Structure 1
Amino acid sequence: MVYINGEWRQSNETIDVMNPATGELITSVVTVGRAETKEAITCAKEAFSAWKKTTGDQRSYYLAEAVRIMKERKDELAETITKENGKPLVDAKSEVNSAINYLNWYAEEAKRVYGDTIPASHPDKHLMVIRQPIGVAAAITPWNFPMSMITRKIAPALAAGCTIVLKPAPATPLSAIKVFECFHEAGLPKGVANLVIGPAEEVGGEMTSNPDVRKITFTGSTAVGKKLIRDSADTVKKISMELGGHAPLIVFEDADLDAAVEGVLLSKFKNTGQTCISTNRVYVSEDIAEEFGEKLAEKVSKLKVGNGLESGVDVGPLINDAALAKVSSHVEDAKKHNGKVLCGGKTVGSQNFYEPTVIHYANDKMKIATEETFGPVAPIFTFKTEEEVVERANHASYGLAAYCFTKDLGRGLRMMHELEFGIVGINDPTPITIQAPFGGVKESGIGKEGGKYGLLEYLEEKYVSIKAN
């Protein structure tokens, strides 16, 4: 179903939603095209005239109501994520909590849209800056975090006083439908939040070309992000792009090896490596590389692969055949370039499962050194000096997240400054939190999500000068 102007709509066009762990059909959902997307945008524009005038307390109320409802349905929401995305149920529950936390955070931030008073240069003038909602926002969300990415975009938009039209990933529309059911039950006014499921060229094309859309927010691949930026240029929309990554994780010779190994497990193999901030390159000081590789392979080989609904599963399936083919090709290419597979390295069963893999003796000639793998493969590169590893870690195009492990405070501070990434975790493989900014530099994105920074993406600053008579 799609949700436009407070109503669930039907159509004759549908898409199948498949369980990537079993290959079985979960259900079919309604899809729409350009005309319905245009209607949703029109309804959002009409709703904006009233929604922008609501108080922060009023907007907070609706978000808090959605929080209450989602908390009551946590198990149902998590099971939906696992069925259509494949991630282990324990990770799906964590995602539901994250989705709820974004709504809860911005329920409070709705009350904190502040402006500024500027000292005047003339005694008869008063200068102010006020912040106002930008207007209708259009959001396009990915399949790898099909619920938390939705609330991370919708919550600040509504808190700021914007209305929104959302297009979820075609692989995972059920999570979006569940979220909008909660908004509907919370009594959100008609047209404030709208859900359209359909082909990218029609739905996305209308979003980028329609002048009534004043903001585009997208999470996904860099290639698609670039196209959205180009397509939005004619109407000069405000944009937020959270795009691809190629995260390095650096292990210095003085690091706590066990902590670093655990860091790779957390930053690489969660969500089957299908995360934009997943470690893609593990750089280990050559003095400790052999020991580190052995420790990592021992841990990785014990990870359980399987259907996320089964107990004890650590690693679920890849999302589709294309993802499996890419991971397989990266591993085979690494072998051709003298990489040594310490564990894993092959497919599992008849569906899109791939063994968690560690590759030693990785080098910069491998595809995995420059291309985003988006799968459960950890290649170990070695380095000699701090200067060398910084130069190699700073990817030419990507700059989303980076990690390093060291006991040297001075070195950690140097890494903080020298690593060209929007997010840096020092002895911390899981730095992401609701109140902090999330976003990259270079071709990894524009703008931030999370905390007060995410709220500002949906606001415009207006300067006002008042001359007293």
Structure 2
Amino acid sequence: MNIAAKIQDIFPSIDSIPLDFQLNHPIDQKEYLVDGKLEIWEGETEETFSPIYLKTSEGLVRHQIGQFPLLNQEAALSALEAAVKAYDNGRGKWPTMSVGQRIECLQDFAYRMKEKRGIVVNLLMWEIGKSYTDSCKEFDRTVDYIEDTIDALKNLDRVSSRFEISEGVIGQIRRAPLGVVLSMGPANYPLNETFTTLIPALIMGNTVIVKAPRPGVLLNYPLLEAFKEAFPPGVVNTIYGQGRLISPPLMESGKIDALAFIGTSRAANNLKKQHPKSHRLRSILGLEAKNPGIVLPHADLDLAVKECILGTLSYNGQRCTAIKILFVHTAIIDKFLEKFTTAVNNLKFGMPWEDNVFLTPIAEPGKPNYLQELVEDAKQHGAEVINEAGGMINETFFYPAILYPVNDKMKVYSVEQFGPVVPIVPFDDIETPINYLVKSDYGQQVSIFGQNTEAIAQLVDPLVNQVCRVNINSQCQRGPDTFPFTGRKDSAEGTLSVHDALRAFSIRTLVAAKDIDLNKRLISEMVREHKSNFLSTDFIL
């Protein structure tokens, strides 16, 4: 069977799905977590459909996997008030807890979360079309992130668990929370990337409102009980619905102290503008990127092709860290195209639960049509689709389209496609890809492929001033989570890593006193008798 025929036959019947992966009973979610209670929503709901269609006697039918609450502004504001009350101007139970006590709550949550691995992984597959292997990785990586964050905070606290004396002043410097955090994660990594802001915000003593992405709501549903049981009331609150309706009143209230948002720069700008005192708002933003791959004439082509396949098409290219455009030197362009198209033709596509599947249906509504428009625009300006069945659509499935040669007249040259369209630009002068990065609105990452030390060194030095990560002979990526993750220009605000996130959601705070006998006695008694959770020399093991 050729590729086109396989695409036409990609969707399964219900009885052909392995029993372990079937999702026969839709999740009727009416609960949302506010002030430590699972409230029941009696209002409007939104049906959630999987990107997976099923063969039936009536043809292909998109599988409904559940529904979730469409909260109104009043419900969203009740979540805000719960978070504000729990923080209580820094006097609440959570922000005044000791670091050790907050760590115990996070550990309790992680234990409860692990018990839900099976259902969350299954929902990741059904709700956003992520392969079983990648769904497992997302869940396990998120649990690892919680544990790594706990370890990082222990290390940070150990450094802070001492007093400094300078110029006759005794001081202890620690990090204190910011207040109420609005955490909004993305649909492509609705668990992991939501938690990379939620977990550090929590562990540093902030209270949080979590706005789940659409799609990506239902897979968080099994964790509501864990949040409820592991944290004091009001520390974690969840809201659902249309962001343009429920987010503005939260921001306009002025009661949001930090915005943790992963999405588009346009949406981030709109959210920030709605805050009445933007100078008070701490923003931690992960935004768009148009990461180039640069294949030099001396590149190891087999290695370059392997990494470029991973970079451009992992999870259908739906990653901000994906390689979104390839610049390939004309001296090797023919060999590269041959190897690259062959590699794409050999990629397995199908349903998320299939072994070794690489390409799956796309969850974002209307995405295949948008990608098709980019392909047609590129063809009108001189590009060709050079791979078999490139750009072919079957409902929510879009087969990768390799476009060559691409030029600056095409939309796909500059816009972030966020999908399996691979634009390839030939170049003779290395200034071509360098100028592309200089003029780009984005500055997250770049990948360089080559074997000539001098040529790569001459690229590294200017490019580190254009992007925040230069990858040598490897795809663009976020991990490991101990490395800083950020971007220049419209690609990010703030830095995330296990260590940096703790700092992003807190502020250095100092208790100081003149070095006199009275103050030394007071401080000694407070520390010795554990009168204060802030002033402490406890060493967390």
Q: Decide: shared fold, TM above 0.5.
A: yes
- Counterpart of 1:424? 470
Where does residue 10 of structure 1 map in the other structure?
Answer: 40
Distance 1:128 1:60, change over 3 A: closer
Please name the residue that 2:348 is paired with.
304
Match of 2:64 in 1: 25
Paired AA for residue 427 in structure 1: N
- Specify the alignment match of 1:200 in structure 2: 243
Q: What's 2:86 paired with?
A: 47
Q: Distance in 2 between matches of 1:102 and 1:69?
A: 15
SS for the counterpart of 2:65 is strand
- Distance change >3 Å, CA 395–CA 352, structure 1 → 2: farther
Q: Deviations over 1:393-446 (max 9, x none)?
A: 344211122211122344444433322122322222145222122121101110
Is 1:35 matched up with 2:78?
no
The aligned runs of 1:199-218 (5 Å cut-off) are: 199-218=242-261
For the residues of structure 2 that align with 1:79 and 1:283, how far apart are their CA atoms?
A: 38
Moved more, 358-367 or 228-237: 228-237
Give me the whole-angstrom Cα distance separating, in 1, the residues matched to 2:193 and 2:223: 11
Distance 1:81 1:456, change over 3 A: same
The answer for unaligned runs of 5 or more in structure 1 is none
Paired letter, 2:391: K
CA distance in 2, matches of 1:233, 1:365: 40
1:92 counterpart letter in structure 2: S
Counterpart check, 1:325 vs 2:335: no
Letter in 1 for 2:479: I
Q: CA deviation at 1:307?
A: 2.5
C-alpha distance in 2 between matches for 1:237 and 1:268: 35
* Aligned partner of 1:461 among 505, 508, 518: 508
Q: Does 1:161 align with 2:161?
A: no
Would you say the 8 A contact 1:143–1:172 is kept in 2?
yes
SS at match of 1:87: coil
Distance 1:342 1:95 in 2: 33
Structure 1 Cα separation of the partners of residues 365 and 77 of structure 2: 33
Q: Is the 8 A contact 2:145 2:481 kept in 1?
A: yes
In the aligned structure 2, how far is the partner of 1:50 from the partner of 1:368?
A: 51
8 Å contact from structure 1 (residues 63, 106) kept in 2? no
Verify the 8 A CA contact 1:157 1:458 in the aligned structure 2.
Answer: yes
Q: 1:207 to 1:438 in 2, by over 3 A?
A: farther
Query: Residues 305 and 353 of structure 1 are in contact (CA less than 8 Å); yes or no, is this contact kept in structure 2?
Result: no
- Among 345, 352, 375, the alignment partner of 2:390 is 345
Is the 1:60–1:106 contact (alpha carbons within 8 Å) kept by the matching residues of 2? no
Post-superposition offset of 1:202: 3.0
- In the other structure, the counterpart of 2:214 is 170
Question: In the alignment, which residue of structure 1 is the partner of 2:497?
Answer: 450
Residues 212 and 393 of structure 1: CA distance in aligned 2, closer, same or farther (over 3 Å):
closer
Q: Distance in 1 between matches of 2:98 and 2:381?
A: 61
> Does 1:268 pair with 2:306?
no
Contact 1:436/1:450 (8 A) holds in 2: yes
Aligned partners of 1:415 and 1:98: how far apart in 2? 32
Query: C-alpha separation between the residues in 2 aligned to 1:410 and 1:69?
Result: 52
Does 2:114 align with 1:66? Answer: no
Q: Offset at 1:321?
A: 4.0
Q: CA deviation at 1:173?
A: 0.4
Separation (CA, whole Å) in 1 of partners of 2:355 and 2:174: 52
| CA deviation map 1:236-273 (0-9, x unaligned) | 31111111111101111122111111111111111111
The answer to whether the 8 Å contact 2:33/2:228 transfers is: no
Q: Shift in Å at residue 228 of structure 1?
A: 1.4
1:96 counterpart residue number: 139
What displacement does 1:219 show? 0.2
Q: Could you say if the C-alpha distance between residues 92 and 395 of structure 1 is closer, same or farther in structure 2, counting changes exceeding 3 Å?
A: farther
Which shifted more, 290-299 or 14-23?
A: 14-23
CA distance in 1, matches of 2:215, 2:478: 28
2:157 pairs with 1:133: no
Q: Give me the whole-angstrom Cα distance separating, in 2, the residues matched to 1:286 and 1:117.
A: 62
CA contact (8 A) 1:246 1:395 kept: no
Q: What is the match of residue 333 of structure 2?
A: 289
Letter in 2 for 1:41: L
SS in 2 for 1:462: strand
- 2:426 — aligned with what? 382
In terms of mean alpha carbon deviation, does 446-455 or 174-183 score higher? 174-183
Conserved 8 A contact 2:95-2:206 = yes
| Aligned residues of 1:4 and 1:191 also touching (Cα < 8 A) | yes
Secondary structure of the structure 2 residue equivalent to 1:52:
helix
**Pairs within 5 Å for 1:137-152:** 137-152=181-196
User: Structure 1 140/437 Cα, relative in aligned 2: closer, same or farther at 3 Å?
Assistant: same
User: 2:386 aligns to what SS in structure 1?
Assistant: strand
Give the distance between the partners of 2:120 and 2:407, measured in 1 at CA: 42
CA contact (8 A) 2:120 2:220 kept: no
More displaced stretch, 387-396 vs 11-20: 387-396
- Greater gyration radius: 2
Q: 1:320 corresponds to which letter in structure 2?
A: E
Counterparts in 2 of 1:277 and 1:68: CA distance versus 1, 3 Å: same
Cα separation, 2, equivalents of 1:271 and 1:148: 14
**Contact in 2 for aligned 1:140/1:168 (Cα 8 Å):** yes
Q: Are residues 142 and 431 of structure 1, via their aligned partners in 2, closer, same or farther at CA, if it must alter by over 3 Å?
A: closer
Q: Bigger shift: 459-468 or 21-30?
A: 459-468
Q: Against the structure 1 CA distance between its residues 65 and 396, is the aligned structure 2 distance closer, same or farther, given a 3 Å change threshold? A: same
**What's 1:434 paired with?**
481
Deviates further, 395-404 or 124-133 = 124-133
Q: Give, in angstroms, the shift of residue 203 of structure 1.
A: 2.2
Is this contact kept in 2: 1:331–1:345, CA < 8 A?
Answer: no
Q: Does 1:108 align with 2:151?
A: yes
The normalised TM-score by structure 1 is 0.93
User: What percent identity do the matched residue pairs reach?
Assistant: 24
8 Å CA contact retained: 1:209, 1:234: no
How many Å apart are 1:309 and its aligned residue?
2.9
Could you tell me which amino acid in structure 1 is paired with residue 413 of structure 2?
A
Q: Please name the residue that 2:6 is paired with.
A: none
Question: What does residue range 358-373 of structure 1 map to in structure 2 within 5 Å?
Answer: 358-373=402-417
